[in-house]
């Protein structure tokens, strides 16, 4: 009688890792915690503008009872608020246009043409991501001062364009590289010049990336604080972030009114980002795929 050898069956694996179950209740709980932590300060500022100083003193975390519209009405009827809003809009719009136009032209050259030093130039833009504007604020102020642009909106706009270009180039180059060469060859056969190809074909095909970098440039410029703080000294040309600082110093005893001014100053950027957030995600996804 022969004895057979018992062997433990070897489990068959397909080499794939077990997928994460994102529908687990713990996942939703963690997400809700992060959402609550992010939204709570914003809600506190917005709701605080509907309260009085006495209500905030008695119970800082309570809801408005009754709701007071006077703080917001006082800010909205202030000439200072609208002047600073206009300054921020001018700076943000011009910065966005400059970033999009210059970034698109630079990215087109880096993505579509081969020349000596192209890799070094692209690496230079990539290295620019590691140097935020706060690191270079002192030499930047000296340069702006030498150009005679201190205490002017141009002294804020030009550096913001320069420091936004690295991000713009890194996002746009993959979009432009993904355009098939056959399209450019067909356009050349049809008699289209390089500029015509750029205007008629490249810009429409790269529109998701263009919209993404434009939104990022606008929001970054609107929320900019450090650069205007160093460049602008005349309150008549303050942007909204500086206006919030000046307003909170002037009305330091009126907490409710300061909260109302702060919530109104951040509202445009929040609305803008909420409307175009899908554009941002889509543009960044396209850049990664490219």
pLDDT of residue 146: 92
Domain positions in the chain: 25-58, 91-238+272-289
Q: What is the pLDDT of residues 210-239, one digit of tens each?
A: 888 988 899 899 989 999 999 998 888 999
Distance of CA 130 to the CA centre of its chain: 16
Q: Determine which of 68-72, 136-140, 172-176, 250-254 has the lowest per-residue pLDDT on average.
A: 250-254
Q: CA–CA separation, 273 vs 267, rounded Å? A: 10
Instruction: Say if CB 220 and CB 167 are below 8 A apart.
Output: no
Number of H helices, E strands in the chain: 14, 0
Mean pLDDT of 117-146: 88
How much is the average pLDDT of 46-73? 87
Q: Would you say residue 289 has pLDDT above 60?
A: no
98-127, pLDDT tens digit by residue?
Answer: 999 999 999 988 988 888 888 899 998 888
pTM of the model: 0.80
Assigned token pair, 202: 């490249």
| 3-state DSSP assignment of residue 11 | coil
pLDDT average, residue stretch 250-259:
85
- What is the predicted pLDDT for the residue at 255? 86
pLDDT at 97: 95
Select the CATH number that applies to the domain covering 91-238+272-289 from these four: 2.40.128.20, 2.40.37.10, 1.10.3720.10, 1.10.357.20.
1.10.3720.10
């Amino acid at each position: 009688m022969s004895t057979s050898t018992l062997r433990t069956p070897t489990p068959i694996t397909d080499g794939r890792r077990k997928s994460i179950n994102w529908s687990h209740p713990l996942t939703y709980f963690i997400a809700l915690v992060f959402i609550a932590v992010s939204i709570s300060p914003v809600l506190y500022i917005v709701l605080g503008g509907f309260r009085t100083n006495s209500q905030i003193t008695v119970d800082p975390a309570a809801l408005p009872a009754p709701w007071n519209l006077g703080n917001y009405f006082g800010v909205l009827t202030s000439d200072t608020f609208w002047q600073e809003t206009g300054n921020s809009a001018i700076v943000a719009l011009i910065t966005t246009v400059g970033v999009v136009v210059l970034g698109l032209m630079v990215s087109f050259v880096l993505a579509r043409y081969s020349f000596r030093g192209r890799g070094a130039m692209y690496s230079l833009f990539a290295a620019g991501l590691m140097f935020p504007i706060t690191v270079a604020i002192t030499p930047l102020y000296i340069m702006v001062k030498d150009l005679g642009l201190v205490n002017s909106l141009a002294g804020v706009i030009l550096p913001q364009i320069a420091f936004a270009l690295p991000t713009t180039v890194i996002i746009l180059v993959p979009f432009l590289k993904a355009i098939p060469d056959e399209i450019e060859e067909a356009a050349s056969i049809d008699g289209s010049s390089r500029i015509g190809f750029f205007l008629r074909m490249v810009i429409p095909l790269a529109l998701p990336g263009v919209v993404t970098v434009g939104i990022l440039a606008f929001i970054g410029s609107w929320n900019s604080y450090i650069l205007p703080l160093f460049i602008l000294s005349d309150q008549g040309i303050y942007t909204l972030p500086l206006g919030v600082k000046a307003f909170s110093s002037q009305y330091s005893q009126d907490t409710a009114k300061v909260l109302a001014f702060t919530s109104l100053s951040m509202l445009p950027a929040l609305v803008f980002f909420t409307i175009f957030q899908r554009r941002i995600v889509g543009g960044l996804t396209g850049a990664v795929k490219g």
